[in-house]
């Protein structure tokens, strides 16, 4: 019994002495580290480790209540690659490995960091999945993972020949975990004040292919600011440039971003990226065609280099669109293009679009003879092909319009009927309207398109104002002589 008491007593003495040594170390070690010779030597060694320059104002090592290292005003410089300054860096190592001389970090707290990254378009050498995995595994706590928090950060990417891409007032929290299945970094929160961005997500490194994967979910993203940052950050990558040129303004209320690959280069390849989200009050530009849609709302995806939209509503000039769908390649002019929409269209805008897209020269000449179109039309518009070659299809189910056609000296109005224009035909059905003081109704006609166009009038009734028709026809050279013998004409001529 006495022996046991003696052992306990000695262990108590030993523990007390160890505690006293730890307390002394906690007070004396920072003073020792911050003496000029030791501080200079430590900065030299750390600078060699990072192949750059690392300086700090002071280091404070505290053991209670938990071990932590506080570095005041550290600065890092890697010439031509990176500059960073931090107001305060706090490192919390895991306790047991710490006393074994191993550094396993459970928490990193970074306050007021300012980081500038220099990127060259010709510069390669991105880290491999193995290098990232080894670095995270070596310093991450096996039990608790690594928690990284950033407060009030400023991050800049400078690419040769481009304006800096800057993120301001960045607050973030992420957790890195190392398991047998690989490395997982969970982004709990990424909040950026300018541009206004809010993200959460997951980054994974796995042993099997695809080695790398990224999943991000964002809310309420401003299109213009987000696109501007993306362009400045990645440079003139055609898919990024094309997407920002197509979607120019508006808000994305929700968005998900997924990417995968065996290397970081593959992770950024457009074929390995999927984006899903929505648009509100957006502006969409169709390059090559000069079409600018406004007040756009709907759902969209980007997958394998194809942008698709469904359930789209918006405006094109004075025309309103609904139930629209869009398919558009973002890798170049040879990608697919398809737009289909129900439209309440402005006749003059529809006429201008057909003039732009129709390649049939005789038909194009006739379209240019139509002027001052006004009124309203309801129907379906389809544009199909590629951005370099688009074929229009127009189907009008309701119309109420007026125009001038320079082959006829009278105004033309149409109050009822349907109209179809596609690659095979131009047809009208149940057409009713006026030409000057003459009227027509029930017109059903079709002209087949091709090398030898053929016109077939199936039905219709004409009520011609004789005096008006006589005056016009008598002015035409082919019939001027015979009609000139008729002094005047009156009444209505009915043709059915």
Tokens at residue 255, please? 């968005």
Question: Please, what is the angle between helix 2-33 and helix 36-50, to 10°?
Answer: 80
pLDDT at 138: 65
Which residues lie closer than 8 Å to 297 by C-beta, 6 or more apart? 278, 279, 280, 281, 282, 312, 313, 314
DSSP 128: P
pLDDT at 98: 55
Residue 434 · residue 412 · CB < 8 Å: yes
pLDDT at 427: 93
Which residues lie closer than 8 Å to 333 by C-beta, 6 or more apart? 288, 386, 387, 388
Count the helix, strand and coil residues of the chain and give each as a percent rounded to the nearest 5.
Answer: 25, 55, 20
pLDDT at 401: 94
pLDDT at 236: 63
Phi, psi of 31 (to 5 degrees): -65, -35
Tens-digit pLDDT profile for residues 89-127: 888 877 665 555 556 678 889 999 999 888 776 555 556
DSSP 450: S
Nearest to 360 by CA among 431, 426, 464, 450: 450
**Residue 388 vs residues 31, 329, 360: alpha-carbon distances, Å:** 71, 12, 17
Can you tell me the distance from the alpha carbon of 162 to that of 231, in angstroms, rounded to the nearest whole number? 9
pLDDT at 100: 57
pLDDT at 28: 43
**Residue 143 vs residues 147, 285, 326: alpha-carbon distances, Å:** 12, 51, 49
Q: How far is CA 10 from the centre of its chain?
A: 70
pLDDT at 1: 43
pLDDT at 496: 82
DSSP 399: E
pLDDT at 2: 45
pLDDT at 218: 93
pLDDT at 439: 93
Report the predicted TM-score, pTM, of the whole model to 2 decimal places. Answer: 0.78
The residues of the chain scoring below 50 in pLDDT are 1-29, 31-34
Residue with token string 């209320």: 253
């Amino acid at each position: 019994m006495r022996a046991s008491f003696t052992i306990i007593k000695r262990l108590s003495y030993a523990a007390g002495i160890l505690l006293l040594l730890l307390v002394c170390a906690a007070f004396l070690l920072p003073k020792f580290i911050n003496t000029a010779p030791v501080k200079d030597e430590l900065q030299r060694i750390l600078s060699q480790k990072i192949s750059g320059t690392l300086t700090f104002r002071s280091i404070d090592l505290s053991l209670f209540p938990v071990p932590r290292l506080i570095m005041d005003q550290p600065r890092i410089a890697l010439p031509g690659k990176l500059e960073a300054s931090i107001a305060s860096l706090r490192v919390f190592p895991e306790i047991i490995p710490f006393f074994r001389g191993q550094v396993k970090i459970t928490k990193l707290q970074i306050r007021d960091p300012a980081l500038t990254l220099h990127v060259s378009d010709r510069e390669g050498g991105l880290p491999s999945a193995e290098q990232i995995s080894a670095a995270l595994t070596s310093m991450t706590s096996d039990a608790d993972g690594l928690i990284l928090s950033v407060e009030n950060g400023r991050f800049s990417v400078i690419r040769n020949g481009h304006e800096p891409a800057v993120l301001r007032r960045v607050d973030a929290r992420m957790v890195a975990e190392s398991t047998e299945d690989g490395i997982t970094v969970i982004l709990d929160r990424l909040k950026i004040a300018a541009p206004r961005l809010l993200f959460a997500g997951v980054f994974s490194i796995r042993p099997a292919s695809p080695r790398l994967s990224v999943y991000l979910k964002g809310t309420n993203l401003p299109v213009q600011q987000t696109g501007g940052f993306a362009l400045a950050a990645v440079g003139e990558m055609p898919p990024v440039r094309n997407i920002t040129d197509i979607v120019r303004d508006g808000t994305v209320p929700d968005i998900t971003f997924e990417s995968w690959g065996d290397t970081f280069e593959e992770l950024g390849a457009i074929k390995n990226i999927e984006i899903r989200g929505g648009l509100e009050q957006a502006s969409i530009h169709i390059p090559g065609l000069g079409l600018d849609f406004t007040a756009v709302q709907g759902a969209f995806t980007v997958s394998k280099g194809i942008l698709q939209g469904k359930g789209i509503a918006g405006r094109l000039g004075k025309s309103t669109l609904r139930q629209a769908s869009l398919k558009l390649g973002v890798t170049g002019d040879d990608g697919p293009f398809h737009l289909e929409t129900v439209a309440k269209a402005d006749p003059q805008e529809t006429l201008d679009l057909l003039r732009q897209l129709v390649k049939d020269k005789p038909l194009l000449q006739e379209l240019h003879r139509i002027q001052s179109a006004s009124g309203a039309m309801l129907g379906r518009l389809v544009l199909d092909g590629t951005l370099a070659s688009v074929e229009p299809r127009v189907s009008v189910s309701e119309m109420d319009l007026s125009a001038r056609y320079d082959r006829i000296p009278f105004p033309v109005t149409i109050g009822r009927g349907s109209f179809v224009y596609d690659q095979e035909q131009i047809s009208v059905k149940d057409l009713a309207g006026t030409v000057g003081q003459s009227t027509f109704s029930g017109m059903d006609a079709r002209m087949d398109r091709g090398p030898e166009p053929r016109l077939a009038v199936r039905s219709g009734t004409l009520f011609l104002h004789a005096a008006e028709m006589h005056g016009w026809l008598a002015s035409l050279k082919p019939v001027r002589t015979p009609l000139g013998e008729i002094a005047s004409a009156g009444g209505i001529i009915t043709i059915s």
